[in-house]
Amino acid sequence: MSTNGNQIHTEFVKICNINWKLGLYNSGGWLGLFLYCGKVMEDQQVKLYVESELQLISQEPNHQPSVKQSFYTEFNSKIICCGARNFVSTTSLFSQPKAYIRDGSLSVMVSLAIGPLLKNVDLPLNVNDAIQKDVRCYEEDSNSNSTRGHILLNEDMFSDCEFWVGTKDPPFIQKASMAILSLKSPVFFRMFTSEQDKISNKHFVVNDIEPSMFLLLLQHIYSSKIRFETKLHTMEVFRAAKRYELNLLMGDCIRHLWPHGVSDVWEALDFSTANDVPTMKEVAMNIVRRQASEVLFSERFRELSHKSVLAIVEQYQMNCSELDIFDAVLRWACYQCEKEGNPSDRKHLRSCLKDILRQIRFLAMGSDQFMGSPCSSGILTGTEELQILKFLIDRKNLSRHYRLCHLTLPRMLVLPAEVNTPVQAEQGSWISTTSTTSEQVVYYDQTTVPMA
């Protein structure tokens, strides 16, 4: 151990090829205990998720219980350690008999569960920054450019080609400028420069898009001025813009679909999971995690896509019970069977749920909860029900043939940000005992959920 005033810290010790050290702090009648991650301190471009338990071991086990606390921490460039300033009071520590200090030494046991090292990508501070993360080169044309572009398109000025659009006979015909289209869309550029697609009289057949949508794309290319009718229409526009590699229009679509609350999380979640828009997906999922009960019990939940429901049940944080999650996905599966005209029996329900069912933490439920809807629904086989019940009764001897989720810990709650006050441990470093700088998570005890 080395000392620095009221601070004491160990040398680095390598665990799982990562250096760790402990720090002890004397703070106003309390002993603070913190675990430092050397990997993050050395390279601030990585992040590491760790579930840790710091335990002050009593050296008289029969007399004094051990003192321990658990922490769920995402180490990153801002969070280099986890722990608690008020880990144990010095009064308890030096009480007679001296159960924790013997021969001038303390014994601390550290237990770690370490997740993968990933590149650290901070969430943006506002919607504009977020859109720039998901769609590159986001910018807006001036009103002057828009007015000139509108005139060029609608009056066929400087047009040197025409498009025959659609599958109807006769097709919809639209004139345009190859130079303008080539500048805005790499797809049009390749179309005009490809000998295979180029026609001597400069007309091009486009039969993979509806005329109204094609005209909307041209209006955006010329003037950047379009109007979205509905969110469903916006999703269709995004798919067309993606096909023609119109990044500016993709940005407009993302802005229009951006989730600000539960009322618009549905389209945002389906859209972001289907089109791989990661920042929007994380913002939508944050709404789901915090307002889980409102989301799960909404009639609109059953209309979500399979990908969206799977993304929700994969979350390790949710402000609801595991039984609420099961009941919601069961209602979702019954609705899917009804839409397809199938009975809501075990075969068809499991066919709808597929990998969703494997994410339900049956082993984290109470036995009374499991005997409710999970058993009465008939979705589980008799063997699966017996395996789960045996585990819930004795909490051991889980069958090696069990094929559902093996996680036994309940999901964690997301608490309001104001309960998480960073503690300044030493100059130049901040300590937080939570997994992120904006959220605090605790285990849900299957009884009550604090109001967010």
Tell me: the pLDDT tens digits for 1-15? 455 567 888 888 888
Pick from 229-233, 314-318, 433-437: least confident: 433-437
Q: Which residues share a beta bridge with 88?
A: 31
Max CA separation in the chain (angstroms) = 99
Question: Which of the two residues, 85 and 319, has the higher pLDDT score?
Answer: 319
For the ranges 179-193, 215-229, 336-350, 431-445, the one whose mean pLDDT is highest: 336-350
Degrees, nearest 5: CA angle 88-92-93: 75
Q: 10 Å Cβ neighbour count for 313?
A: 22
Query: Mean of the per-residue pLDDT values for the chain?
Result: 81
How large is the average pLDDT for residues 411-422? 62
Side chain identity at residue 136, one-letter code:
R
Structure tokens at 413: 């709650």
- The per-residue pLDDT for range 100-134, each reduced to its tens digit, is 777 778 888 888 888 765 555 566 667 877 777 77
**What does the pLDDT read at residue 331?**
96
Provide mean pLDDT across the span 362-387. Answer: 93
Mean pLDDT lowest among 47-56, 406-415, 418-427:
418-427
Closest CA to 267 of 300, 294, 310, 242: 300
Give the closest residue to 290 by CA, choosing from 415, 133, 165. Answer: 415
Angle at 329 between CA 324 and CA 335, to 5 degrees: 130
Q: Which residues in the chain are classed under CATH 3.30.710.10?
A: 127-233
pLDDT in tens, 154-165: 667 777 888 888
> Between 414 and 435, whose confidence is greater?
414
Cis peptide before 171 (omega within 30 of 0): no
- Per-residue CA distances from 94 to 26, 34, 39, 158 (Å): 13, 20, 34, 89
- In contact, 131 and 251? CB cutoff 8 Å: yes
> Token pair 């179309």 is at which residue?
191
Query: How many angstroms separate the CA atoms of 241 and 218, rounded?
Result: 10
**What is d(CA 141, CA 129) in angstroms, rounded to the nearest whole number?**
18
Contacts of 251 (CB under 8 A, 6+ apart): 131, 132, 134, 135, 138
Tell me how crowded residue 81 is: count the other CB atoms within 10 A of its CB.
Answer: 23
Burial class for 340, CB neighbours closer than 10 Å (0-12, 13-18, 19+) = exposed
Picking from 50-59, 295-304, 386-395, which range would have the lowest pLDDT averaged per residue?
Answer: 50-59
Q: Is the pTM of this model over 0.85?
A: no
Indicate if the pLDDT at residue 86 is higher than 50.
yes
**Residue 154: predicted pLDDT:** 67
% residues pLDDT > 90 (the chain): 38
204 pLDDT exceeds 50? yes
196/179 Cα distance (integer angstroms): 19
Question: What pLDDT, on a 0 to 100 scale, did the predictor assign at position 141?
Answer: 46
Report for 168-177, 233-242, 391-400, 409-418: range of highest mean pLDDT:
233-242
Q: What does the pLDDT read at residue 323?
A: 96
> Is residue 334 pLDDT above 90, yes or no?
yes
DSSP states along 12-35: PEEETTEEEEEEEEEETTEEEEEE
Listed ranges 96-100, 200-204, 337-341; the one with the highest mean pLDDT = 337-341
Instruction: Give yes or no for residue 282 having a pLDDT over 90.
Output: yes
Measure Cα distances from 26 to 66, 81, 85, 163, 425 in Å: 19, 17, 9, 77, 10
Mean pLDDT along residues 17-38:
87
Q: Tell me 317's DSSP state.
A: B
Least confident of 95-109, 243-257, 318-332: 95-109
Per-residue pLDDT at 278: 92
Please give the pLDDT value at position 101: 79
Cα-based torsion angle of the residue sequence 319, 412, 69, 116 in order, rounded to the nearest 10 degrees? -140
pLDDT tens track for 380-412: 999 999 999 999 988 877 888 889 999 999 999
pLDDT of residue 257: 94
Domain 127-233 class in CATH: alpha beta
Q: What is the structure's pLDDT at 445?
A: 40
- 131-142 tens-digit pLDDT: 777 765 445 444
Query: Residue 408, exposed/middle/buried by CB under 10 A (0-12, 13-18, 19+)?
Result: middle
Per-residue pLDDT for 66 more than 70?
Answer: yes
Q: What is the pLDDT of residue 430?
A: 28
Spatial distance between the Cα atoms of 264 and 197, rounded to a whole number of angstroms: 42
Distance, CA of 235 to CA of 125 (rounded, Å): 25
For the segment 259-271, the average pLDDT, to the nearest whole number, is 94
Domain 2-119 has CATH 2.60.210.10: yes
Give CA torsion, residues 353, 359, 363, 368, to 10 deg.
Answer: -50
Q: What percent of the chain has pLDDT above 70?
A: 82
**Burial (Cβ within 10 Å: 0-12, 13-18, ≥19) of residue 19:** middle
